Amino acid sequence: MTFSFTGLSAFPITPMHQDAPDEARFATLITRLVEAKVDSIGALGSTGSYAFLTRGEREKIARLAVSHAGTTPVLVSIGAINLRDTLLLAEDAQKAGAKALLLPPMSYFPLRDEEVFTLYETVSRHVSVPLVVYDTPGTTQFHFSDALMRRICQLPQVRSIKLPSGSPTAEEAAARMKRLLPALPESTSPGISGDPTAAGALMQGARIWFSEWGGLFPRLACQLTDAALAGQKEDVARIEAVFAPFWEMSARYGGSLRVIASAATIMGLAGPGALPRPLQGVSPQDAEKLATLISTHQPG
Protein backbone atom coordinates (compact mmCIF):
# COMPACT_ATOMS: atom_id res chain seq x y z
CA MET A 1 0.00 0.00 0.00
CA THR A 2 1.40 3.38 -0.98
CA PHE A 3 1.64 5.92 1.75
CA SER A 4 -0.58 8.94 1.10
CA PHE A 5 1.26 11.85 2.77
CA THR A 6 -1.68 13.48 4.52
CA GLY A 7 -2.58 14.55 8.05
CA LEU A 8 -0.24 14.54 11.02
CA SER A 9 3.23 13.07 10.76
CA ALA A 10 4.61 13.12 14.30
CA PHE A 11 8.37 13.33 14.84
CA PRO A 12 9.45 11.88 18.20
CA ILE A 13 12.77 12.65 19.80
CA THR A 14 15.32 9.87 20.18
CA PRO A 15 15.98 10.09 23.93
CA MET A 16 19.59 9.46 24.89
CA HIS A 17 20.92 7.69 27.96
CA GLN A 18 24.64 7.88 28.74
CA ASP A 19 25.44 8.99 25.18
CA ALA A 20 23.49 6.18 23.48
CA PRO A 21 19.87 5.95 22.31
CA ASP A 22 17.49 4.98 25.11
CA GLU A 23 15.73 2.21 23.22
CA ALA A 24 13.09 1.37 25.82
CA ARG A 25 11.95 4.98 26.16
CA PHE A 26 12.00 5.47 22.39
CA ALA A 27 9.69 2.46 22.01
CA THR A 28 7.32 3.98 24.58
CA LEU A 29 7.22 7.23 22.60
CA ILE A 30 6.28 5.30 19.44
CA THR A 31 3.50 3.45 21.27
CA ARG A 32 2.08 6.76 22.51
CA LEU A 33 1.95 8.06 18.92
CA VAL A 34 0.15 4.93 17.72
CA GLU A 35 -2.37 5.19 20.55
CA ALA A 36 -3.03 8.82 19.68
CA LYS A 37 -3.75 7.70 16.10
CA VAL A 38 -1.27 9.96 14.31
CA ASP A 39 -1.34 9.43 10.54
CA SER A 40 2.36 8.64 10.34
CA ILE A 41 5.54 8.68 12.41
CA GLY A 42 8.73 10.42 11.37
CA ALA A 43 11.61 8.60 13.03
CA LEU A 44 15.07 10.13 13.10
CA GLY A 45 14.05 13.55 11.88
CA SER A 46 16.00 16.61 12.99
CA THR A 47 14.03 16.34 16.24
CA GLY A 48 14.95 12.67 16.36
CA SER A 49 18.67 13.59 16.43
CA TYR A 50 19.51 11.69 13.25
CA ALA A 51 22.55 13.88 12.70
CA PHE A 52 24.06 12.85 16.04
CA LEU A 53 23.79 9.08 15.61
CA THR A 54 25.92 6.41 13.94
CA ARG A 55 24.69 4.29 11.08
CA GLY A 56 24.24 1.34 13.44
CA GLU A 57 22.24 3.39 15.92
CA ARG A 58 20.05 4.76 13.15
CA GLU A 59 19.36 1.29 11.82
CA LYS A 60 18.38 0.06 15.27
CA ILE A 61 16.09 3.02 15.92
CA ALA A 62 14.42 2.64 12.52
CA ARG A 63 13.74 -1.03 13.26
CA LEU A 64 12.39 -0.23 16.71
CA ALA A 65 10.09 2.43 15.28
CA VAL A 66 8.66 0.08 12.66
CA SER A 67 8.24 -2.81 15.07
CA HIS A 68 6.32 -0.68 17.59
CA ALA A 69 4.32 1.31 15.03
CA GLY A 70 2.07 -1.57 13.98
CA THR A 71 0.08 -0.41 10.96
CA THR A 72 1.07 3.25 11.35
CA PRO A 73 3.49 4.11 8.53
CA VAL A 74 7.01 5.08 9.57
CA LEU A 75 9.08 7.64 7.65
CA VAL A 76 12.83 7.68 8.23
CA SER A 77 15.31 10.48 7.56
CA ILE A 78 18.41 9.45 5.61
CA GLY A 79 20.34 12.73 5.79
CA ALA A 80 24.12 12.56 5.92
CA ILE A 81 26.99 14.84 4.96
CA ASN A 82 28.44 12.24 2.61
CA LEU A 83 26.20 10.99 -0.22
CA ARG A 84 27.88 7.60 0.10
CA ASP A 85 26.49 7.35 3.64
CA THR A 86 23.04 8.55 2.58
CA LEU A 87 22.80 5.66 0.13
CA LEU A 88 23.74 3.18 2.86
CA LEU A 89 21.22 4.73 5.25
CA ALA A 90 18.52 4.51 2.56
CA GLU A 91 19.22 0.81 2.19
CA ASP A 92 19.10 0.27 5.95
CA ALA A 93 15.85 2.22 6.35
CA GLN A 94 14.13 0.36 3.53
CA LYS A 95 15.19 -3.00 4.95
CA ALA A 96 13.88 -1.88 8.33
CA GLY A 97 10.46 -1.31 6.77
CA ALA A 98 10.30 2.46 6.32
CA LYS A 99 7.32 3.48 4.14
CA ALA A 100 9.07 6.65 2.98
CA LEU A 101 12.45 8.38 3.30
CA LEU A 102 13.10 12.00 4.19
CA LEU A 103 16.12 13.53 2.50
CA PRO A 104 17.51 16.90 3.62
CA PRO A 105 20.38 18.48 1.66
CA MET A 106 22.52 18.07 4.75
CA SER A 107 25.97 19.49 4.34
CA TYR A 108 29.11 20.79 5.95
CA PHE A 109 29.77 23.34 3.24
CA PRO A 110 26.48 24.82 2.04
CA LEU A 111 25.71 22.96 -1.19
CA ARG A 112 25.27 24.40 -4.68
CA ASP A 113 22.11 23.92 -6.76
CA GLU A 114 23.62 21.39 -9.13
CA GLU A 115 25.03 19.37 -6.24
CA VAL A 116 21.63 19.25 -4.56
CA PHE A 117 19.90 18.19 -7.76
CA THR A 118 22.44 15.40 -8.30
CA LEU A 119 22.01 14.32 -4.69
CA TYR A 120 18.26 13.85 -5.11
CA GLU A 121 18.65 12.33 -8.57
CA THR A 122 21.19 9.78 -7.32
CA VAL A 123 19.13 8.79 -4.29
CA SER A 124 15.89 8.61 -6.29
CA ARG A 125 17.55 6.07 -8.62
CA HIS A 126 18.61 3.93 -5.68
CA VAL A 127 15.40 3.67 -3.66
CA SER A 128 12.09 1.89 -4.13
CA VAL A 129 9.97 3.76 -1.54
CA PRO A 130 8.74 7.37 -1.80
CA LEU A 131 11.13 10.23 -1.04
CA VAL A 132 10.30 13.47 0.78
CA VAL A 133 12.33 16.60 -0.02
CA TYR A 134 13.25 17.88 3.41
CA ASP A 135 13.73 21.65 3.15
CA THR A 136 15.36 22.79 6.39
CA PRO A 137 17.49 25.87 5.75
CA GLY A 138 18.07 26.51 9.46
CA THR A 139 20.22 23.41 9.70
CA THR A 140 21.48 22.88 6.13
CA GLN A 141 22.05 26.54 5.15
CA PHE A 142 20.63 25.55 1.75
CA HIS A 143 17.81 27.54 0.16
CA PHE A 144 15.81 25.82 -2.57
CA SER A 145 14.83 28.08 -5.43
CA ASP A 146 11.35 27.48 -6.84
CA ALA A 147 12.91 26.26 -10.08
CA LEU A 148 15.13 23.72 -8.34
CA MET A 149 12.28 22.45 -6.16
CA ARG A 150 10.08 21.95 -9.22
CA ARG A 151 12.89 20.16 -11.02
CA ILE A 152 13.50 17.82 -8.09
CA CYS A 153 9.77 17.07 -7.79
CA GLN A 154 9.86 15.64 -11.33
CA LEU A 155 12.25 12.91 -10.20
CA PRO A 156 10.93 9.39 -9.76
CA GLN A 157 10.10 8.50 -6.14
CA VAL A 158 9.75 12.12 -5.01
CA ARG A 159 6.25 12.21 -3.53
CA SER A 160 6.23 15.00 -0.97
CA ILE A 161 8.05 18.12 0.12
CA LYS A 162 8.50 19.41 3.63
CA LEU A 163 8.56 23.20 3.45
CA PRO A 164 9.40 25.34 6.48
CA SER A 165 6.19 27.27 7.12
CA GLY A 166 7.78 29.95 9.29
CA SER A 167 11.09 30.62 7.52
CA PRO A 168 12.46 33.16 6.78
CA THR A 169 9.13 34.70 7.92
CA ALA A 170 5.62 33.23 8.03
CA GLU A 171 4.53 35.70 5.34
CA GLU A 172 7.36 34.84 2.95
CA ALA A 173 6.86 31.14 3.54
CA ALA A 174 3.12 31.46 2.82
CA ALA A 175 3.83 33.40 -0.38
CA ARG A 176 6.35 30.76 -1.44
CA MET A 177 3.89 27.94 -0.80
CA LYS A 178 1.25 29.78 -2.82
CA ARG A 179 3.71 30.07 -5.74
CA LEU A 180 4.98 26.49 -5.50
CA LEU A 181 1.77 24.51 -4.98
CA PRO A 182 0.19 25.01 -8.41
CA ALA A 183 3.53 24.22 -10.07
CA LEU A 184 4.07 20.86 -8.33
CA PRO A 185 3.26 17.61 -10.12
CA GLU A 186 0.05 15.86 -9.03
CA SER A 187 2.23 13.16 -7.51
CA THR A 188 3.82 15.53 -4.97
CA SER A 189 1.96 16.07 -1.71
CA PRO A 190 2.81 19.49 -0.23
CA GLY A 191 3.85 19.27 3.39
CA ILE A 192 5.08 21.69 5.98
CA SER A 193 7.12 21.91 9.12
CA GLY A 194 7.34 24.81 11.55
CA ASP A 195 4.78 24.06 14.25
CA PRO A 196 3.58 27.62 15.08
CA THR A 197 2.54 28.34 11.48
CA ALA A 198 1.56 24.82 10.45
CA ALA A 199 -2.20 25.06 10.95
CA GLY A 200 -2.30 28.19 8.82
CA ALA A 201 -0.39 26.40 6.07
CA LEU A 202 -2.76 23.40 6.27
CA MET A 203 -5.65 25.79 5.75
CA GLN A 204 -3.84 27.20 2.70
CA GLY A 205 -3.36 23.92 0.88
CA ALA A 206 -0.61 21.96 2.62
CA ARG A 207 -1.71 18.34 3.09
CA ILE A 208 0.70 16.93 5.64
CA TRP A 209 2.19 18.45 8.77
CA PHE A 210 5.59 17.13 9.80
CA SER A 211 5.38 18.11 13.46
CA GLU A 212 8.07 18.35 16.13
CA TRP A 213 5.84 18.93 19.14
CA GLY A 214 3.41 16.39 17.67
CA GLY A 215 6.01 13.77 18.63
CA LEU A 216 5.42 14.58 22.31
CA PHE A 217 1.86 15.95 22.33
CA PRO A 218 0.28 13.77 19.64
CA ARG A 219 -3.35 14.03 20.79
CA LEU A 220 -3.27 17.81 20.79
CA ALA A 221 -1.47 17.86 17.44
CA CYS A 222 -4.07 15.48 15.95
CA GLN A 223 -6.82 17.83 17.12
CA LEU A 224 -5.03 20.79 15.56
CA THR A 225 -4.50 18.93 12.27
CA ASP A 226 -8.16 17.89 12.09
CA ALA A 227 -9.40 21.39 12.90
CA ALA A 228 -7.08 23.00 10.35
CA LEU A 229 -7.91 20.56 7.55
CA ALA A 230 -11.63 21.10 8.28
CA GLY A 231 -11.13 24.87 8.22
CA GLN A 232 -12.48 25.29 11.78
CA LYS A 233 -10.72 28.52 12.63
CA GLU A 234 -12.03 28.86 16.17
CA ASP A 235 -10.90 25.39 17.15
CA VAL A 236 -7.53 26.06 15.56
CA ALA A 237 -7.11 29.25 17.60
CA ARG A 238 -8.13 27.49 20.82
CA ILE A 239 -5.65 24.63 20.33
CA GLU A 240 -2.87 26.93 19.16
CA ALA A 241 -3.27 28.88 22.41
CA VAL A 242 -2.36 25.74 24.37
CA PHE A 243 0.71 25.12 22.20
CA ALA A 244 1.76 28.79 22.18
CA PRO A 245 3.92 28.91 25.35
CA PHE A 246 5.76 25.74 24.27
CA TRP A 247 6.41 27.23 20.83
CA GLU A 248 7.52 30.50 22.38
CA MET A 249 10.07 28.69 24.55
CA SER A 250 11.27 26.67 21.52
CA ALA A 251 11.96 29.89 19.65
CA ARG A 252 13.84 31.26 22.63
CA TYR A 253 16.12 28.20 22.68
CA GLY A 254 16.84 28.36 18.96
CA GLY A 255 14.82 25.23 18.10
CA SER A 256 12.36 22.75 19.54
CA LEU A 257 14.56 19.78 20.37
CA ARG A 258 16.10 21.22 23.53
CA VAL A 259 12.67 22.16 24.92
CA ILE A 260 10.88 18.99 23.82
CA ALA A 261 13.58 16.84 25.43
CA SER A 262 13.25 18.81 28.67
CA ALA A 263 9.47 18.41 28.57
CA ALA A 264 9.83 14.68 27.90
CA THR A 265 12.07 14.33 30.96
CA ILE A 266 9.47 16.16 33.06
CA MET A 267 6.78 13.81 31.76
CA GLY A 268 8.89 10.74 32.62
CA LEU A 269 9.22 9.89 28.93
CA ALA A 270 12.96 10.53 28.90
CA GLY A 271 15.62 10.25 31.55
CA PRO A 272 18.20 12.84 32.47
CA GLY A 273 20.86 13.26 29.76
CA ALA A 274 18.15 12.83 27.11
CA LEU A 275 19.85 15.20 24.67
CA PRO A 276 22.89 14.27 22.62
CA ARG A 277 25.88 16.28 23.83
CA PRO A 278 26.79 19.11 23.45
CA LEU A 279 23.09 20.08 23.36
CA GLN A 280 21.69 21.17 26.71
CA GLY A 281 18.12 21.33 28.00
CA VAL A 282 16.31 24.37 29.33
CA SER A 283 17.25 26.34 32.46
CA PRO A 284 15.85 25.29 35.87
CA GLN A 285 13.44 28.24 35.73
CA ASP A 286 12.15 27.23 32.31
CA ALA A 287 11.92 23.61 33.43
CA GLU A 288 9.66 24.76 36.26
CA LYS A 289 7.59 26.76 33.79
CA LEU A 290 7.33 23.73 31.52
CA ALA A 291 6.24 21.53 34.43
CA THR A 292 3.47 23.97 35.33
CA LEU A 293 2.29 24.23 31.73
CA ILE A 294 2.26 20.45 31.35
CA SER A 295 0.36 19.81 34.57
CA THR A 296 -2.14 22.57 33.76
CA HIS A 297 -2.92 21.58 30.18
CA GLN A 298 -2.10 17.84 30.10
CA PRO A 299 -1.37 18.31 26.41
CA GLY A 300 0.11 14.82 25.75
Positions touching its own copies (CB under 8 A) are 19, 46, 51-53, 81-84, 106-112, 114-116, 118-119, 122, 138-139, 141, 253-255, 257, 276-280
Nearest to residue 131, comparing CAs of 90, 163, 160, 97?
160
Q: Tell me the sheet residues that pair with 191.
A: 162, 208
Residue type, 147: A
Identify which of residues 17 and 219 has a Cβ nearer to its own copies in the complex.
17
The angle formed by the CA atoms of residues 184, 174 and 116, to the nearest 5 degrees, is 50
**All residues at 6 or more sequence positions from 17 whose CB lies less than 8 Å from its CB, including other chains:** 25, 271, 273, 274
Tell me how far, at minimum, the Cβ of 81 lies from its own copies, in Å.
5
Pair 41, 69: CB distance under 8 Å: yes
Tell me how far, at minimum, the Cβ of 276 lies from its own copies, in Å.
5
Tell me how far, at minimum, the Cβ of 257 lies from its own copies, in Å.
7
Tell me how far, at minimum, the Cβ of 40 lies from its own copies, in Å.
23
Phi, psi (deg, nearest 5) at residue 242: -70, -40
Identify which of residues 67 and 280 has a Cβ nearer to its own copies in the complex.
280
Identify which of residues 185 and 254 has a Cβ nearer to its own copies in the complex.
254
Identify which of residues 39 and 135 has a Cβ nearer to its own copies in the complex.
135
Tell me how far, at minimum, the Cβ of 158 lies from its own copies, in Å.
16
Identify which of residues 84 and 186 has a Cβ nearer to its own copies in the complex.
84
Count CB-CB contacts under 10 A for residue 184: 17
Tell me how far, at minimum, the Cβ of 296 lies from its own copies, in Å.
27
Identify which of residues 2 and 118 has a Cβ nearer to its own copies in the complex.
118
Nearest to residue 139, comparing CAs of 215, 191, 98, 80?
80
Count CB-CB contacts under 10 A for residue 123: 21
